[in-house]
Structure formats: C-alpha cells, structure tokens
Chain A
C-alpha cells in the first residue's frame, strides 16, 4: 500500500522488512539487469540524481529504474551510501570502511566511478577518483599504462608531440 506523505514523496510499502522503522521511508531501485533493491530514502538521496527525482516528484510507485547501473555495482553503491548515512561522525571507522571498500580490482573501481558519476554521489566519486589518482602518483608513463592495461593509441608523431608538451613530467 502506497501513501503520499506531507512533502509529496511516495512511501513504498516495505513489507519484506518488518523490522524497518515506521519513520524511515523506503525507495525501490532497479538495476539494469532488473534486480530490485530497497533502500531508505535518506541513503538514496546521497545520489543527487535520485534526490532531484524524489524532490521533483518523478518517482512513481514502482521505484527508480537505473538502466546504466548493473546489479553488482548498484549493490556496492548502496552499501556505501547505507554506511555513510548511518554514522557520519565516526571518522575513523568510516575511513577504514572506505579503505576496504576501494580495495577492489581496477575495472570494478572504474564501474563504480561510472555509476557514481551517473548517480552523482559526490563523496563516492571523490573517494574512487582519489584512489585511482593515488595509484598513478609517481609512476612513469609506461608504468601507468601497464598498471591499468592502457593501450597506447597515439601515432608515433602524436606521442612525440604529447611528450614534448608535457616535458616537465620528465625533468
């Protein structure tokens, strides 16, 4: 049973989770492969994209479809958001959670970045981009390519030009 609350947002009946507090409103998210995720509106609002949709009243009874985010990645993003809304003040705990969270393969990290970019979850975006940046620090061009499996798609002339422009990296 869905009811309209005072601020116009719809409460999706969270029947499956009987221990959910009456106060915490839930929202359903659908991944690209059709999997269904129930999250609190508070956690979902960490995504500015979803937050704006909720504010503009664009969320219907069914929930939000996210055709750009697969289930495994969406699950991780939700885990991040849940953890961060839970106890935002415990900096030390959150730091260690974040460190464990980004300890994944590069391609997974890139998928999370894509999802965080699409969903506009600034903190998650910053965390993952900082992690990638940290792996790039103090590495040579060849080392960077090897680390991320980057294919050199420059022509020899282009490569010479680019290296010349960025000469100060090699001094």
Chain B
C-alpha cells in the first residue's frame, strides 16, 4: 500500500483523462454546464471547443455525424453543440395551451421525433377516423444549418421555436434575427417577462416580412406548448401517461394521467382547443393511489361484470375485450364531465365515485357509478414511439 503522500501524487485527476473521455463527459452536459466546465482548466477548455464535441453528442443521440461547416471554428462547433442539445430538449410530447383568439379548433398534442439527417419533425396528433388509430399531421421541422444554428419551419414559413424555461416552448413566426435566443435561469414569471421584453417590436418584424415578400399573409399567432413529462407508465406509476380511448360518444379521445407529490392521481381529457372549454378538463381523480389487490370482493367482481366495455366498431365486427383485471383503484369523478348539463342537483353529482380496472397487459379501463360503461385506454406511445398511427 503506497503512503498517502505518494498515493495523492499518483491519483488521477480530471485533467489527466484523455480527450476522448473529456468529450464523453462534456457530451452529457447541457451547454451552460459544459461552458462552466470549459472555464475550469485548459484540458476541459480544449475539449469543449473541439469540433469533436458535437460529434460525440450526435453519436450519443444516435444521429448521423453533423456536416462540418467550412469555417470549422470553435464558435461553430459550440453553436452546433448547443443546437443538438436544443433539439434533444424538444424531443417528446407537448400539449398546446389555449390561445386567446382561437380561430379554429386545432389538435392539442404535438409529438417531436427524430427524422432523417438529424432533423426534428413535429407532428400534431389527432384522433383518426379509424377506430383507435392516431393521425399525425406535419407541424414544425427543426434542423441545424451548416453554421450550427437551429433553423425551424412550419411548412414553408420560417418560424422560431424558443424555450421559456425547460418545459414551455413558443412557436412563432421568425422575426428574422436571433432565432436561438433562449432564456436561462430565473423564476418562470421572470423568464416569461424576458421573453416578451426581448421580442422585436411588431413593426420591425412586419416590415422585414414585407421586404422578404412572404407568401403566407398575416401574422402567425404564437403557439405555446407545455411539455408532457411522463408520457408512459412505469412499474411504480402504472396509470401515468398519455392514453387514448373510445369514449361514450364513440369517438377517440386523449387522456393524460399524472401522479402528484402527495400520492394522488389525476386524469384530464386532452381535446382540441376550442372556445372556452380549455381542452384540458379534469375527468377523475383520487388522493389515494393504492390499488385493491386480488382476490377481489364479490361486490367488486359483480360491479365489473355488470359493466359494458365501450368498443370500437370496425367494419361490422366489434373488438373483443376480454382482459383479465390485475388491480382495482377507487376514484372520484369531476361532476361536469359525467353530465355537462346536470338535470340532477349539483350536490348529487359532485363526488361520483368510480373504479379503475388495471388489466394484466398494463392498460386500464375506468367507469363511474350510475353508468355501466367502461372506457378502455391504450398507450399513445411506447418506448418513445407513437403507436397505431394512420
């Protein structure tokens, strides 16, 4: 055993690592953290400004190696690194916030996924006309220019996709400059203020757009989206995620189930944004997310067997639902869902209780007292991919 002095001298330090290793470490860091590390010592500064860094990040993300800009200066490598991180942060599912002047109903859900050549393609998700399938319509594409900057477009119209904090983005017409402005740090109200304070005056934008002769007339209304952070269930949270199911109207609807910090579960229906109905209305909730485990009581078994699964009718024959129930949870409904125009006094409907039946395959169904229907839900995405699209 070496003496402590000799051991200390021989101990490997961060700066002793080969550049490959430093690049690998930096590739795991968001740009601000990588920048802080770069200021620590020469070895890290060298790795951080190396054109190999965005390459390392691209490889880690499973993307093709980025095109080398002819300038290939540390600045362009850094821009490329920052853009790759921005694209990575955009990945996933997002929910549209209702705008102040909804011109027409628009799908509330957007999915950002990798497309060929290190591009991010966003699609709007909507119920398709066919049963349980989800239709995807093209939305924004985000790619990286040779300069390393992020470039976004909605069809042919250049747009900006800016982050307001980590979980909120704004998609708006490009003012033509500084698309990559990003607000870092500060509390959410501060960020919102900074974002809007830094916007160009409407006049400047419009003049520039007229100069460029944009075909699409009129200002594009900024569209706000918030992230859906947990879109898939886990072992510990089997109900969590974005789900789809056929509701009483025999149409496909989207449902978002979230767990809160105090052991409760809430489900909201996510529908197209239209009018005063925010498109994100509460459906059911519970403060106690513990399940009833088998063996179930006679009462529970009777209750389940008396219910009818709402099924999708496809070309004459109905899908057979015969899934085994693995666990049951007691829930409460929001009264305005069950009957938007309650004929009964409000008090009677307020705490309508219901059940969630968790099936063996990981999906679940729910229903309420007073109705004998079960709405069965399925995953919208599995392992990061949207399933059942048409």
Q: Residues of A with Cβ closer than 8 Å to B? A: 92, 106-107, 110-111, 113-114, 117, 125-126, 129-130, 132-134, 136-141, 144-145, 148-154, 158-159, 162-163, 165-166, 168-169, 171
- Given the contacts A168-B32, A169-B32, A132 and B14 also touching, CB distance less than 8 Å: yes
Q: Are A110 and B17 in contact (CB under 8 A)?
A: yes
Q: Are B42 and A154 in contact (CB under 8 A)?
A: yes
Q: Are B17 and A114 in contact (CB under 8 A)?
A: yes
**Docked CA distance A100–B163 (Å):** 35
**Docked CA distance A141–B40 (Å):** 6
Most buried by A among B12, B17, B49: B12
Q: Are B12 and A153 in contact (CB under 8 A)?
A: no
Supply 20 further A-B pairs (C-beta < 8 A) apart from A106-B14, A110-B14, A150-B13: A110-B13, A129-B24, A129-B28, A133-B29, A136-B25, A136-B36, A136-B37, A141-B36, A148-B13, A150-B15, A150-B41, A153-B15, A163-B39, A165-B74, A166-B39, A166-B48, A168-B32, A169-B31, A169-B32, A171-B184
Q: Are B20 and A139 in contact (CB under 8 A)?
A: no
Q: Are A133 and B25 in contact (CB under 8 A)?
A: yes
In the complex, 30 of the A-B residue pairs with CB atoms within 8 angstroms, ordered by the A residue number, are: A107-B11, A114-B18, A117-B17, A117-B21, A125-B21, A126-B60, A129-B21, A129-B28, A133-B29, A137-B33, A139-B36, A141-B39, A141-B40, A144-B36, A144-B37, A145-B40, A148-B13, A149-B13, A150-B15, A150-B41, A154-B45, A159-B39, A166-B36, A168-B32, A168-B35, A169-B31, A169-B32, A169-B36, A169-B39, A171-B184
**Docked CA distance A127–B2 (Å):** 28
Q: For B45, give its contact among A107, A110, A117, A162 (CB under 8 Å).
A: A162
**Docked CA distance A92–B29 (Å):** 24
Q: Are B18 and A136 in contact (CB under 8 A)?
A: no
B383 on the interface (CB 8 Å rule)? no
Q: Are A154 and B14 in contact (CB under 8 A)?
A: no
Interface residues of B in 278-307 (CB under 8 A from A): none
Residue of A whose beta carbon sits closest to that of B39: A141
CB distance from B92 to the nearest CB of A (A): 20
Residues of B within 8 A of A114 (CB): 12, 17-18, 21
**Docked CA distance A150–B22 (Å):** 14
CB distance from A124 to the nearest CB of B (A): 11
Residues of B within 8 A of A162 (CB): 38-39, 45
Residues of B within 8 A of A163 (CB): 39
**Docked CA distance A129–B18 (Å):** 12
B340 on the interface (CB 8 Å rule)? no
B178 on the interface (CB 8 Å rule)? no
B155 on the interface (CB 8 Å rule)? no
A-B residue pairs, 6 tightest by C-beta = A169-B35, A133-B28, A166-B35, A107-B11, A110-B12, A129-B24
B370 on the interface (CB 8 Å rule)? no
Q: For A137, give its contact among B15, B29, B35, B40 (CB under 8 Å).
A: B29
Residue of A whose beta carbon sits closest to that of B16: A110
Kindly supply a per-residue 1/0 record for chain B positions 119-157, scoring 1 wherever the CB is within 8 Å of any chain A CB and 0 otherwise: 000000000000000000000000000000000000000
**Docked CA distance A74–B33 (Å):** 31
Residues of A within 8 A of B235 (CB): 92
**Docked CA distance A52–B29 (Å):** 31
**Docked CA distance A117–B45 (Å):** 20
Q: Are B13 and A117 in contact (CB under 8 A)?
A: no
Residues of A within 8 A of B27 (CB): 129
Q: Are B74 and A152 in contact (CB under 8 A)?
A: no
Residues of A within 8 A of B26 (CB): 133
Residues of B within 8 A of A137 (CB): 29-30, 33
Q: For B40, give its contact among A117, A132, A144, A171 (CB under 8 Å).
A: A144
Q: For B25, give its contact among A129, A138, A150, A168 (CB under 8 Å).
A: A129
**Docked CA distance A171–B182 (Å):** 11
B189 on the interface (CB 8 Å rule)? no
**Docked CA distance A126–B38 (Å):** 20
CB distance from A130 to the nearest CB of B (A): 5
